Amino acid sequence: MTISVGDKLPDIQLVKATPDGPQPVQSGDYFAGKTVALFSVPGAFTPTCSARHLPGYVEKAEELKAKGIDEIACTAVNDAFVMGAWQQAGDASAVTMLADGNGDFAQATGLSQDSSAFGMGKRGQRYSMIVEDGVVKELNVEEPGDFSVSSADHMLGQLQG
């Protein structure tokens, strides 16, 4: 079952990419007590993700924060080393990288996809959500191959303030 607006995020271990290396973090702890702009990509360093998705959130980080976002986070079914390298390559220090290496978070939210036809195995779908204190307030899931509703610009339009 796919997560919906009003649902609490599942409490799954993710791995945060940090300058000091991978750091395990429980999603329940990470999302508690703050408003997070979370976006998911099928994979770090993939074309749309690197050319448009991540750069949009980097470019709009201050605008998102001015509208009440405490933190911007990205998740992908990649390991923390790949996510950390992508953060550096994308000059994305404004975005917290949350590695979902085994796809447990993607599966628990019902937002996984089978990308085996592209040699990528099971991945997370492209989406964005606004999460307040662990509860989904907005959810924007892309149709396969699309990039519009999960963008930073679309999210800015959903935020008050």
Write the DSSP string, 32-59: TTSEEEEEE-S-TT-HHIIIIIHHHHHH
Rounded to whole angstroms, how far apart are CA atoms 15 and 27?
Answer: 9
C-alpha span between 146 and 59 (Å, rounded): 20
As a whole number of angstroms, the distance between CA 113 and CA 123 comes to 5
- Residue whose pair of structure tokens reads 């998102």 in the numeric block: 64
- Give 102: exposed, middle or buried? Use CB within 10 Å, 0-12, 13-18, 19+: middle
Query: How many beta carbons lie within 10 A of that of residue 39, not counting itself?
Result: 24
* Residue 74 bears catalytic tag: no
Amino acid (1-letter code) at residue 53: H
Candidate list 3, 49, 99, 152, residue with the active-site label = 49
- Report, as residue numbers or ranges, the catalytic residues: 49
